[in-house]
Structure 1
Amino acid sequence: MNSTLNQGAVHGPTSFFSKEATIARPGFSRWMVPPAALAVHLCIGQAYAFSVFNAPLTKIIGITKSAPDDWSLTTLGWIFSLAIVFLGLSAAFAGKWLEKVGPRRTMFTAACCFGGGFLVSALGVYLHQIWLLYLGYGVIGGIGLGLGYVSPVSTLIRWFPDRRGMATGMAIMGFGGGAMIAAPGSVALMNYFKSATSAGVAETFVVLGVLYFISMTIGALAIRIPPADWKPAGWTPPATAKKMITKNHVHIDQALKTPQFYLLWLVLFLNVTAGIGVLGQASVMIQESFKASITAGAAAGFVGLLSLFNMGGRFVWASASDWIGRKTTYFVFFTLGAVLYFLVPQFAGSGNIALFVLAYGIILSMYGGGFATIPAYLADMFGTAFVGGIHGRLLTAWAAAGVAGPVLVNYVRAFQVSHGVVGAEAYTMTLHIMAALLVIGFVCNLLVSRVHEKHHMNTSAQTAI
């Protein structure tokens, strides 16, 4: 590793969780950082699998079937909603704190919150107090989700200035794939603990809380940050900055005063709204489109396949952005996405299952790719000094899209059905609206330009970072 690592040795007494204590010493390999990030993201990706607990939670008292005093699905639905809300809030408001204290303390705090949230929820199941599940998984666990999501990102970007997209793609891919481990694992644990007097949920929450705390803590202990002047061996920064990549830094508060921040907020919001809106209806949509040939089991397989595209797209598209540029990558998302949304109803109408599945697979790969590419896009525009905090604030677009997307799909479909439109045709207008949203996203991305130099930190402040 580069000789400048010698300057990264920690001198004097420091707290083990302090930012200074995480500065890499000579010989540290930057390839140790992505596994540390994955140790966190694979855990918090469990959020996408929380629905496996919904049915068992409606039978905590009845065990085999719901009793009169058992919770309803509508009551339980607020648990996940609260978690996503507090993911966005914690990511947005903890940004400055993350940059101040460093990734290790933030990741360990995330481990305590996410693991602890499961334990509080287990107590809520045991006592049959829904407010404890709201507090545990929804509020405390949601804070853990937000802190865990953003904490490794800025560190990865600093370790991989030559491949920012690939680095963030590796970590955020873990968030997309975490549910693939959590869903079958949670079901297996509930079946193991299930008895005549227990649905197995409380015991499963305890085991998951402990396991996730251990895994996320290992990631926190393994994380390191590079010295201020470190660069990869054999890599020389370009003598002049590329058109859309700055060599300067913008303070987190100053970033909010730039039009670029709000354009990128809309870019992420529109890309996520289009993807998340149909993701929740994918199973129903394919069954209604191909009633004669798609069973419920086949539809579940389709949803699983979309998860693979979602996960793979996070790495593939983010890595590709290192070569073609972030702006160009989003141009592909918005152009290709709009075309595919427009064509999907035609594929369904012609009975072409293969093209229908392929189109949705590509759409979901770009949905995941949007999440993984945006941190590198922010680093290009605002520099790396405060990218973790800026990324956290931009994630409010995710929280907003998480509400707008499903609401748009559900209400437009309901409007169509109420006017006599049946089956797959009820989704045609929705898909065309999604295509229109992506066209708007194309325009927003087109308007993104380099941040004006008046927003840059002065030279002395940048040197001190």
Structure 2
Amino acid sequence: MTQQNLKLFGMEAAKGRWIFVLVGLLINVCLGSIYAFSVFRKPLETLWEITSSQSGYPFMVFLAVFAITMPLAGNLIARWGPKNTAMLGGLLSGTGWIAASFSADIATLTILYGVIGGAGVGIVYGCPIAVVAKWFPQQSGLAIGSTVMGFGVSALLIAPLMKAMIHHPEIGILHTFLYLGIAFVVIVTLLAQLLRFPSAEWASAEITTTSTVTTAIPSLNLSRQDMLKSGSFYALWATYTIGCLAGLMAIGIASPVGTEIAKLDATMTAFAVSLFAVFNGLGRPIFGAVTDKLGPKHTAMVSFAMILGVSLLMSFFGQDNALLYLFAFCVLWMCLGGWLAIAPTSTGIFFGKKHYAQNYGLVFTAYGAGAILGTLLSGNIKDITGSYLNTFPIVAGLSILGIIIAAIGLNPVKRQ
């Protein structure tokens, strides 16, 4: 291919490659319905007479299995391609929701919904990210952030739908899982048909003229084994875990904190969860673009400073303070969305795009660690102390730790 043809190819593909961002965004709207799970918690507690900790188990297990499956999915994407991998994941994810509708107790729901549904989402999730990362070899933060924005804004659409279905006399809690599962299988399978990687020439065809921090960092294209030998991987994994812990904790307890701490009624709390979803979605392209400009280290530090600030405010002034609740949880949800863009963008910046699916799959296990720790932390502290407010001083301390780790460890990998 001549240089002139490369330029023409680049110009044409540059216009069309945003379709993959749109497809990925729509797939993520389906996958991100887990972020509306807090709407189920109170009804499940009433239905089965279970505790606050127990009602969080499906959410915790779903996210943990989601993260554990991601490294395996990276290998599937490399072997089968993004289309076939996404089809498999979509089928499993929907099956988990459908099977959950037959649950008789919280343990069964946790296994069917958490394990099967979580595994399906873990298989699908990396497919559009890997596709977009390769279509945008430079300055990929905004594109990746826009792709995963669908996961964040999902609750904006799904939470009110879930609430309406749960309280509908002819549907109820368990049948809500059934109908949504069927819809997710159909939608994800159809959208998966459009996923594909660019040709080998594409990376060299894209020419970036904007000067950014990330374009100044040379890509090393490290394998998963080589990535594991770098200190940057462990710093990224640790900061990602802390960022997800704070954000996923906020997502898991958003609805009960609204009613129990902020003293909002059920309708206003459901509206608040939808509002938080907007910020969760916006945080992804915003922090992705900021990562392109400032680099992973400084963007991570900004995120942790924001989490620290609102955690301290909630610790001291959160009780019966509806406005502070709205402000703090908007920030926490936005920062979680931010980390879902910071981490995949940083993976490409530090370790390259050649083995991106496999590498980010391993980095993403931090999400699962954050999900487990955040859910256990909030649920157990609530059961022990009687208030979710007591989780926020711990989150503030972890944010300080995150700032320190980012400042010391989030550095480009040096060439050997």
In the superposition, the TM-score normalised over structure 2's length comes to 0.84
The Cα of 1:55 is off from its aligned counterpart by: 6.6
Counterpart contact for 1:283–1:299, Cα < 8 Å: yes
| Residues 426-465 of structure 1 mapped to structure 2, 5 A cutoff | 427=389, 430-446=391-407, 447-454=409-416
Task: Tell me the distance in 2 between the aligned counterparts of 1:312 and 1:234.
Answer: 26
Deviations 1:400-442 (A, max 9, x none): 111212333344456656xxxxx7xx83x54232222111111
Q: Which of 278, 283, 288 does residue 313 from structure 1 map onto?
A: 283
Confirm or deny that 1:245 pairs with 2:207. Answer: no
Counterpart contact for 1:265–1:397, Cα < 8 Å: yes
Counterpart contact for 1:271–1:334, Cα < 8 Å: yes
Q: Which of 393, 401, 415 does residue 370 from structure 2 map onto?
A: 401
Query: Which residue does 2:248 correspond to in 1?
Result: 276
Deviations 1:152-199 (A, max 9, x none): 11211111234311111112111112223223334445666x54xx74
The Cα of 1:354 is off from its aligned counterpart by: 3.9
- Residue identity in the other structure for 2:399: L
Q: Which of 24, 27, 37 does residue 24 from structure 2 map onto?
A: 37
| Residues 253-272 of structure 1 mapped to structure 2, 5 A cutoff | 253-272=225-244
Task: Tell me the distance in 2 between the aligned counterparts of 1:176 and 1:240.
Answer: 26
Query: Which residue does 1:360 correspond to in 2?
Result: 329
- Residue identity in the other structure for 1:38: L
Structure showing greater radius of gyration is 1
Q: Which of 315, 324, 331 does residue 301 from structure 2 map onto?
A: 331
Q: Which of 93, 96, 99 does residue 114 from structure 1 map onto?
A: 93
- Residue identity in the other structure for 2:59: F
- Residue identity in the other structure for 2:398: L
Task: Tell me the distance in 2 between the aligned counterparts of 1:234 and 1:451.
Answer: 23
- Residue identity in the other structure for 1:395: F
Distance 1:434 1:55, change over 3 A: closer
Distance 1:332 1:190, change over 3 A: closer
- Residue identity in the other structure for 2:133: I
Percent identity over the alignment is: 28
Confirm or deny that 1:371 pairs with 2:340. Answer: yes
Secondary structure in 2 matching 1:151: helix
The Cα of 1:276 is off from its aligned counterpart by: 2.7
Greater relative contact order structure (CA < 8 Å, 6+ sep): 2
Counterpart contact for 2:305–2:403, Cα < 8 Å: yes
Query: Which residue does 1:207 correspond to in 2?
Result: 179
Distance 1:30 1:355, change over 3 A: same
Task: Tell me the distance in 2 between the aligned counterparts of 1:234 and 1:445.
Answer: 30
Instruction: Determine which structure has the larger helix proportion and give its number.
Output: 2
The Cα of 1:444 is off from its aligned counterpart by: 1.1
Task: Tell me the distance in 2 between the aligned counterparts of 1:35 and 1:51.
Answer: 27
Counterpart contact for 1:278–1:406, Cα < 8 Å: no
Deviations 1:91-133 (A, max 9, x none): 12232222232211111111121123334334x35xx598875
Q: Which of 181, 190, 194 does residue 157 from structure 2 map onto?
A: 181
Secondary structure in 1 matching 2:202: coil
Q: How many corresponding residue pairs?
A: 409
Distance 1:274 1:83, change over 3 A: closer
Counterpart contact for 2:275–2:330, Cα < 8 Å: yes
Confirm or deny that 1:148 pairs with 2:127. Answer: no
Counterpart contact for 1:277–1:405, Cα < 8 Å: yes
The Cα of 1:229 is off from its aligned counterpart by: 2.3
Secondary structure in 2 matching 1:178: helix
Query: Which residue does 2:134 correspond to in 1?
Result: 158
Task: Tell me the distance in 1 between the aligned counterparts of 2:161 and 2:79.
Answer: 36
TM-align CA RMSD: 3.6
- Residue identity in the other structure for 2:392: L
Task: Tell me the distance in 2 between the aligned counterparts of 1:242 and 1:99.
Answer: 25
| Residues 12-27 of structure 1 mapped to structure 2, 5 A cutoff | none
| Residues 52-91 of structure 1 mapped to structure 2, 5 A cutoff | 52=39, 71-73=48-50, 78-91=57-70
Distance 1:226 1:289, change over 3 A: same
Counterpart contact for 2:241–2:367, Cα < 8 Å: yes
Counterpart contact for 1:5–1:227, Cα < 8 Å: no
Moved more, 380-389 or 206-215: 206-215
Query: Which residue does 1:17 correspond to in 2?
Result: none
Moved more, 82-91 or 355-364: 355-364
Distance 1:355 1:209, change over 3 A: closer
Deviations 1:209-265 (A, max 9, x none): 332122112221111211122149772479999587332200022212221111101
Distance 1:296 1:79, change over 3 A: closer
Moved more, 221-230 or 299-308: 299-308
The Cα of 1:149 is off from its aligned counterpart by: 1.3
Task: Tell me the distance in 1 between the aligned counterparts of 2:368 and 2:98.
Answer: 25
Secondary structure in 1 matching 2:62: helix
Counterpart contact for 1:244–1:450, Cα < 8 Å: no
Query: Which residue does 1:216 correspond to in 2?
Result: 188
Counterpart contact for 2:347–2:360, Cα < 8 Å: yes
Deviations 1:291-342 (A, max 9, x none): 6xx4454444333322222222122222222222222211111223223322
Distance 1:241 1:27, change over 3 A: closer
Query: Which residue does 1:22 correspond to in 2?
Result: none
- Residue identity in the other structure for 1:49: A
Structure 1, unmatched stretches of 5+, are 9-24, 59-64, 418-422, 455-465
Distance 1:318 1:210, change over 3 A: same
In the superposition, the TM-score normalised over structure 1's length comes to 0.76
- Residue identity in the other structure for 2:413: V
